[in-house]
């Protein structure tokens, strides 16, 4: 495993990760605000989370493109299987801005959970990094979706974490997450 | 990738499929490979829009033909064209009868003000909906109703529930799964009739002490906190980067 050129202080990296999680949770307070204000604020917040997470140096292996493609394909396959098992979901009339916001949300969430937070937790071992980041990802969505979301989002978080571990990069979970959100909005 | 990593991947995939099935069995709102995002929705379609509500056109009625065989009605997910009402019909929701080959399910949005008052302090969030099933008075299998509800600055709640009525007069609250992110409520109904989402309105976080939403250009709390928090987070990120360079 190649250590990045620089290593960040764990406490400050954790502060960015937890700050990102807190801001992601705050999105719930924006429900009810009308567009375009809501979309603009959401876009700014998600963009800020992404930028702040990318500023934190983390330990990453140099990912081989072939491995990233293979791990992403594996993730997409298991997500497709899960969609087939669970059956059709009630759809909602998304606003036009929901498409790009859901894509930005997927990338920002992966930057927080599978890049920054995972990077901090990796000092305790990959198992801890995968499980704790997945549990926090699932808990984040409970206030918005109810406890019914916890099992499926815990499972999704475990898959994303495994992808991060197997590929050595957060690109594979980000690509899978983007595809899943895209499918949900376009359905 | 090592053999051990690949094996871990198989175990994780298996665990994910089981967990996804658990959520899906819990509620139709738990279906999908991941429940994520808080994207804005299109404006709600009201039968009778309240003052100040964005009018996005009238809600749409729908009529569905459900095939019935020796085991009863076939399973299906019935969705109105405006995505505001979903009925999830399990196998045998309508029991078999000699000569019965199909049944028509009619979904009609109504103004809740034209029906009986909701109990307690509950206010109707959105339209009421009448569900007819071709003279069927009771479902024989599970039928879940999923209703989209509006969330605005002046009509806001943190907990919503579905109420059911056989005649549109006396309402009974149902055990409801509420999904704030997609503004959907789900409950199981035992018979056709009327359904509506009810909630006790509370002030939206952006409301002032007078109960009026603040001007967007003013100090609307959730917006200010979100923007200030986002700027602060970038500041911490820059500090981490600079600190790392020095060490």
ipTM score here? 0.92
**B42/A82 touch (CB, cutoff 8 Å), yes or no:** no
Residue B185, pLDDT above cutoff 70: yes
CB < 8 Å to B26, chain A = 148, 151
Nearest residue of A to residue B26, measured between CA atoms? A148
Cα separations in angstroms, B10 against A148, A168, B208? 24, 18, 53
CB of A86 closer than 8 Å to CB of B20? yes
Residues contacting B187, CB < 8 A, separation 6+: B144, B145, B161, B162, B164, B174, B175, B176, B177, B195
Cβ contact B34–A78 (<8 Å): no
Q: Do B84 and A93 touch (CB under 8 A)?
A: yes
Interface of A with B in 105-164 (CB under 8 A): 105-106, 109, 141, 143-146, 148-156, 158-159, 161-162
Evaluate whether B174 touches B160 at the Cβ level (below 8 Å): no
Using a 10 angstrom Cβ sphere, with 0-12 exposed, 13-18 middle and 19 or more buried, the burial of residue B15 is: middle
- Does residue A3 lie in a domain region? no
CB-based contact B13 A148, cutoff 8 Å: no
Closest Cβ opposite residue A83 in set B1, B33, B38: B33
Domain span including residue A20 = 10-186
- Mean pLDDT over each residue of chain A, to the nearest integer: 90
Confidence of residue A25 (pLDDT cuts 50, 70, 90): very high
**Domain presence at residue A1:** no
Q: Does residue B36 register a pLDDT over 70? A: yes
Say yes or no to pLDDT of A61 above 50.
yes
Distances (CA, A) of B136 to B90, B100, B139: 15, 12, 7
Indicate whether A79 belongs to any domain: yes
Compare CB distances from B148 to A13, A92, A158 and report the shortest one's residue. A92
Report how many Cβ contacts below 8 Å link chain A to chain B: 298
Cβ–Cβ below 8 Å for B13 and A159? yes
Which one has a higher pLDDT value, A53 or B155?
A: A53
CB contact under 8 A, A155 and B19: yes
Across B195-224, average pLDDT: 72
The lowest-confidence range among A71-75, A172-176, B110-114, B209-213 is B209-213
How close does chain A come to B126, measured CA to CA in Å?
14
* Domain residue ranges of chain B, discontinuous segments joined by +: 2-27+220-246, 62-199
pLDDT tens by residue, A118-152:
999 999 999 999 999 999 999 999 998 999 999 99
pLDDT greater than 90 at residue B55: no
Chain B nearest CA to A59, separation (Å):
13
- Find which of A21, A47, A155 to mutate to test the B interface (most B CBs within 10 Å of its CB): A155
CB neighbourhood size of B48 (10 A): 12
Residues of A in contact with B243 (CB under 8 A): 8-9, 12
CATH topology of domain B62-199: Chondroitinase Ac; Chain A, domain 3 (2.60.220)
pLDDT of B139 above 80: yes
Which residue of B35, B225, B232 is in closest CB contact with A153? B35
Tell whether the model's pLDDT for residue A70 goes beyond 90: yes
- Its pTM stands at 0.89
How many independent structural domains does chain A possess?
1
pLDDT, position A34: 80
* A9: chain B residues, CB-CB within 8 Å: 240, 243-244, 247
Question: Which tokens is A157 given?
Answer: 């978080």
């Amino acid at each position: 495993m190649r250590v990045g050129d620089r290593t960040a202080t764990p406490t400050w990296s954790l502060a960015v990760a937890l700050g990102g999680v807190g801001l992601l949770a705050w999105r719930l307070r924006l429900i009810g605000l009308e567009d375009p204000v809501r979309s603009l604020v959401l876009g700014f917040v998600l963009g800020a989370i992404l930028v702040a997470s990318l500023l934190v140096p983390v330990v990453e292996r140099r990912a081989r493109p072939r491995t990233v493609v293979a791990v992403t394909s594996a993730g997409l396959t298991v997500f497709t299987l899960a969609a087939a098992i669970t059956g059709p979901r009630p759809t909602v009339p998304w606003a036009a801005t929901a498409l790009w916001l859901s894509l930005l949300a997927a990338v920002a969430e992966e930057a927080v959970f599978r890049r920054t937070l995972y990077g901090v937790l990796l000092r305790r071992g990959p198992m801890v990094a995968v499980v704790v980041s997945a549990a926090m990802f699932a808990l984040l969505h409970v206030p918005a979706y109810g406890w019914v979301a916890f099992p499926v989002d815990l499972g999704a978080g475990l898959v994303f974490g495994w992808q991060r571990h197997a590929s050595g990069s957060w690109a594979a979970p980000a690509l899978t997450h983007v595809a899943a959100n895209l499918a949900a909005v376009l359905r | 990738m090592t053999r051990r990593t690949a094996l871990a991947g198989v175990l994780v995939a298996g665990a994910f499929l089981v967990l996804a099935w658990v959520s899906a069995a819990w509620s139709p709102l738990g279906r999908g490979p991941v429940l994520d995002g808080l994207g804005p929705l299109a404006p709600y379609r009201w039968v009778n829009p309240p003052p100040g509500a964005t009018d996005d056109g009238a809600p749409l009625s729908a009529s569905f033909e459900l095939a019935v065989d020796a085991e009863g009605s076939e399973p299906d997910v019935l969705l109105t064209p405006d995505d505001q009402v979903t009925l999830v019909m399990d196998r045998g929701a309508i029991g078999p009868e000699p000569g019965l080959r199909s049944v028509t399910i009619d979904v009609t949005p109504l103004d809740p003000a034209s029906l009986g008052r909701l109990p307690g302090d509950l206010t109707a969030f959105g339209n009421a909906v009448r569900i007819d099933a071709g003279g069927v008075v009771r479902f024989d299998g599970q039928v879940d109703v999923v209703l989209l509800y509006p969330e605005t600055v002046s009509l806001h709640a943190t907990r919503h529930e579905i109420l059911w009525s056989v005649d549109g007069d006396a309402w009974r609250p149902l055990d409801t799964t509420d999904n704030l992110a997609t503004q959907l409520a789900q409950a199981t109904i035992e018979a056709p009739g009327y359904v509506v989402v009810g909630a006790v309105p509370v002030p939206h976080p952006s409301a002032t002490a007078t109960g009026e939403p603040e001007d967007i250009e003013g100090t609307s709390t959730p917006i200010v906190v979100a923007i200030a928090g986002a700027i602060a987070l970038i500041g911490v990120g820059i500090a981490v980067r600079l600190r790392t360079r020095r060490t």
